Amino acid sequence: MSQTAPAAPKAVEGSLNFLDDRLGSTNFFKRNARKAFPDHWSFMLGEIALYSFVILLLTGTFLTLWFKPSMHEVIYEGSYTKLNGVKMSEAYASALHISFDVRGGLLMRQIHHWAAVLFMAAIMAHMLRVFFTGAYRKPRELNWLIGIVLFTLGMVEGLFGYSLPDDLLSGTGLRITQGVLEAVPLVGTYGYMFLFGGEFPEGNHGDLIPRLFTLHVLLIPGVILALVTAHMMIMWHQKHTAMPSRNQSEKQVYGYPFYPVFMAKTGAFFMFTFGVTALLSTVTQINPIWLYGPYDPGAISAGSQPDFYMGVLEGALRIMPNWEITAWGHTLSLNVLIPATLPLGIVFGGAAAWPFLERWVTGDNRSHHVVERPRNAPVRTGVGVAAVTFYGLLWLAGANDVLADKFHVELFKTTWFFRVAIFAGPILAYIVTKRICLGLQRRDAAVIDHGVESGIIVMSPEGKFSERHVPVREEEKAVILSKENAKPEAPAVDGSGIPAPGTKGPMGFLRSRLNRGWTLDDIPVEDRGHHGEHHEVEEGERAGAEQKELSR
């Protein structure tokens, strides 16, 4: 795929020559300095995730210098006098020391936590943008799968991170983690012992916090860094996707060169991201561990909530009925196993399989470098909104006690509401979203056929009023006509009655039915050259229309 961009600026020629004399790399740097980057605000979502990760690494390094990953009991004697004389782990005491005694320690703790929240939110928003625009299609399926793994690792990393201070709130989350691990048949107990190093809460020799610390600061960040690097390298090699536009095509990329335009923009955007994170950390409190106190297995905070990205698991646990199966002396806790595996299995498993399922159903094996407008893929958009609805309802269900308290509704009723809504909500969201997409397609077809309203009302010799339409602008026309109209399904048999390849057997029948559902109700959008038409105004609107024309 070729690129259109100016030659490398003279300002960098000296630096390139310096590197070439020593590394012989001028051609490489010149070629990549001219790389074109499409200009659209939605592409910045991935950059927010990248810059949040950089902030996490920087602030995490600072916190590591003072944090003590130990469950050895000490008596606290620090600046926070309300906990003086209280027994606590060294981990909790060092977290209090960072917050109250290390210069800038509390600010760094809060920047680290807000950056983690922003990192997960940015990945989620970036993945939604990729899904709804079809940017995951060939040849970018691998990068899509990397994104799903990154989000999953981010959830685990966040869980281990806010569990390190060993406060009451994080201990509650670890208690849930223990229950989830033990609910997994056969291997659950081994996983539980591997993580905790013994019985809850601290293991045999206080191994829990040191193991979480190693996973949180070494293993998982290393894997995330490797995946982010792979993600960027693949994106750089495959080129960035582009939004539909007048000059854009599958073989031509229009945009700004990497140097100096994109480099200046992305550098400024990093500073904006850091500034917003620092501002949030300065004026908005997050995770005040000193208010919760050290972890006590016999206590729990009222209205305790995890970070938003873990809310889906919390909600699934809260609305799940108390189902258990006992056989041959063993109990299978479905009330924990199903909420821990099924919701995220549906969302993440479905997301991972979707690019390949869509390609199989549609038979589209082409490479795509220009994304689709969500309205032009109503089935995909409907499924995406249904998944968002499913995820969002579970997230809200994780706060059912808070909702019941604030809205003065019985907790039992809120629980049953979410039990019903978790099934009905996604179905309703799919139907409504698909109808909206088809309505927008009809509007686009009308704009291409009849132009856009000019606001000028004219009267015919017969006394009929109509509004004059003018052709749509070329830029908008190119965007609208970027829609690929659905192609009719190939006949199941040819003229000799021989079944077509791919239509045989149950899988062929299923594929045919899914393909029909994918293309059902598609609205053709074509340029037929019908522009500047007059549209009659209803009788009841004539008086106002006549007055409008007279005022002109």
Distance CA 152, CA 345 (A): 11
* Fold observed for domain 40-293+325-372: Cytochrome Bc1 Complex; Chain C (1.20.810)
Alpha helix stretches (DSSP H) within 363-410: 378-397, 400-406
Q: What is the residue type of 310?
A: M
72 and 92 in contact (C-beta within 8 Å)?
A: no
Beta bridge partners of 294: 167
pLDDT in tens, the chain (552 residues): 444 445 555 656 666 677 677 666 666 666 677 777 777 888 889 999 999 999 999 999 999 999 999 999 999 999 999 999 999 999 999 999 999 999 999 999 999 999 999 999 999 999 999 999 999 999 999 999 999 999 999 999 999 999 999 999 888 888 888 889 988 888 888 998 888 888 887 777 788 999 999 999 999 999 999 999 999 999 888 888 888 888 777 777 777 777 778 888 888 999 999 999 999 999 999 999 999 999 888 777 777 788 888 889 999 999 999 998 888 778 888 999 999 999 989 999 999 999 999 999 988 888 998 999 999 999 999 999 999 999 999 999 999 999 999 999 999 999 999 999 999 999 999 999 999 999 999 999 988 888 888 788 888 888 888 878 888 888 888 888 888 887 766 555 555 656 666 666 788 878 888 888 888 888 888 887 655 555 544 444 444 433 444 334
- How far the first Cα of the chain sits from its last, in Å, is 51
Alpha helix stretches (DSSP H) within 407-521: 411-450, 474-480, 505-519
Per-residue model confidence (pLDDT) at position 358 = 93
Q: What is the residue type of 70?
A: S
Q: How much is the pTM? A: 0.87
Per-residue model confidence (pLDDT) at position 489 = 62
Residue 5, token pair as written in the block: 């961009």
**Coil, strand or helix: which one is 305?**
coil
388 and 394 in contact (C-beta within 8 Å)?
A: no
Specify the DSSP class assigned to residue 217: I
444 and 480 in contact (C-beta within 8 Å)?
A: yes
- Please identify which residue in the block is written with the tokens 């009330």: 335
Distance CA 468, CA 407 (A): 52
Per-residue model confidence (pLDDT) at position 501 = 62
Q: Which helix H or strand E contains 468, and what residues bound it?
A: strand 465-470
**Cβ neighbour number for residue 301 with a 10 Å cutoff:** 14
Residue 349, token pair as written in the block: 């498993």
Which residues, including other chains, have CB under 8 Å from residue 369's CB and lie 6 or more apart? 1, 239, 241, 242, 250, 251, 253
Distance CA 281, CA 271 (A): 15
Specify the DSSP class assigned to residue 240: -
500 and 492 in contact (C-beta within 8 Å)?
A: yes
Q: Which of 493, 482, 443 is nearest to 133 (CA)?
A: 482
Q: How many CA atoms lie within 13 A of 47 on its CB side?
A: 19
Which residues, including other chains, have CB under 8 Å from residue 45's CB and lie 6 or more apart? 122, 125, 126, 129
Per-residue model confidence (pLDDT) at position 516 = 85
248 and 240 in contact (C-beta within 8 Å)?
A: no
Q: Which of 345, 294, 369, 303 is nearest to 89 (CA)?
A: 294
With 0-12 CB in 10 A as exposed, 13-18 as middle and 19+ as buried, what is 17? Answer: exposed
**Cβ neighbour number for residue 86 with a 10 Å cutoff:** 15
With 0-12 CB in 10 A as exposed, 13-18 as middle and 19+ as buried, what is 503? Answer: middle
Where in the chain are the domains? 40-293+325-372, 373-492+504-552
Q: Which of 269, 299, 394 is nearest to 343 (CA)?
A: 394
Give the strand pairing for 252-254 and 2-4: parallel
Q: Which helix H or strand E contains 325, and what residues bound it?
A: strand 324-327
Cα angle, residue 45 at apex, residues 252 and 366 outer, rounded to 5° = 35
29 and 276 in contact (C-beta within 8 Å)?
A: no
The secondary structure of 241-302 as a DSSP string is -B---SS-BTTEEE-EEIIIIIHHHHHHHHHHHHHHHHHHHHHS----HHHH-B--TT---T
